[in-house]
Amino acid sequence: MRFIKMHGLGNDFVVVQAEEVVSDPEELARRVCDRHFGIGADGLVFILPSAKADLRMRIFNPDGSEAEMCGNAIRCVAKYAFESGLVRRPELKVETGAGIIRPRLRFEVSRVKEVEVDMGEPVLEREQIPMAGPPGRVVDESLTVYGKTFRITAVSFGNPHCVIFLPDVSSVDPSIIGPKIEHHPAFPRRTNVEFVQVLTPDRIRVRVWERGAGETLACGTGACAAVVAGVLNGLCGREAWVELPGGELFIVWAEDNHVYMTGPAAEVFRGEWPEG
């Protein structure tokens, strides 16, 4: 199985172009993503044919679970698709578990420098995130985890996010709090968790615990969710730079209610996995 190792701000993926997904992608993802006995990655991504779009993206987490969408992965997919000749237009349509997503390429000479992604409209209704509880939005709501209460805001971009604002994100250990919230019974499909520090109205700092992957250097949908949650709580503007451990993303919650994410993607190396 030939693969391309790529990353978006250090959020790294093993990318495979194929006609169809292998017979047991969950087990393959667990082996391939293992950083000691495999290639090592935050996810295994398949680029597949699509009857609805230019191509289809499926992504499997290191624990074998499938994610509906990944903002950093789709930038990598868009860059690879153009530079490999799979798609020769600067605007693509990519079928994902969260629907059709539209990346737009930005170039430096003939190479893709950045990718702007129309992430669609944020989902704010509790039932659609999904999260247990009465109808309505989840904004600055209390959630108790092992005796500790957090103020949370819930957002979905096809995958669920639980956003928590803190005075200083360095004061929290995502590896302790993250899994407890990820598996909280309030989230029937589990959840990603964002710990957010507002620096200025147009700049926030985010650490992410990703559902099925653990703490990662960056999360595109998480960055979008953090900005939307910041606006809903009156803490930041609708355009903001998001500082993540792996670098920065620029997020805009536009007047058309769509959220646009802009950031880089990079190829690291190519290889061949001996199985499959």
At residue 99, φ and ψ (nearest 5 deg) are 105, -165
| Other C-beta atoms lying within 10 Å of the C-beta of residue 33 | 23
At residue 222, φ and ψ (nearest 5 deg) are -65, -40
Tokens 């990603």, located at residue: 192
b/e 173-209 (16+ beta carbons within 10 angstroms → b): ebeebbbebbebebbeebbbbbbbbbeeeeebbbbbb
Helices in the chain by DSSP H: which ranges? 25-33, 71-83, 174-182, 220-232
d(CA 66, CA 45): 10
| Other C-beta atoms lying within 10 Å of the C-beta of residue 57 | 26
Task: Tell me the per-residue pLDDT of 163-188, one tens digit each, with 9 for 90 and over.
Answer: 999 999 999 999 999 999 999 999 99
Task: Tell me the per-residue pLDDT of 35-45, one tens digit each, with 9 for 90 and over.
Answer: 999 999 999 99
Q: How confident is the model at residue 276 (pLDDT cuts 50, 70, 90)?
A: low
Catalytic residues: 70, 219
Task: Tell me the per-residue pLDDT of 102-142, one tens digit each, with 9 for 90 and over.
Answer: 999 999 887 899 999 999 999 999 999 999 999 999 999 99
Percentage, residues of the chain above pLDDT 70: 100
pTM: 0.93
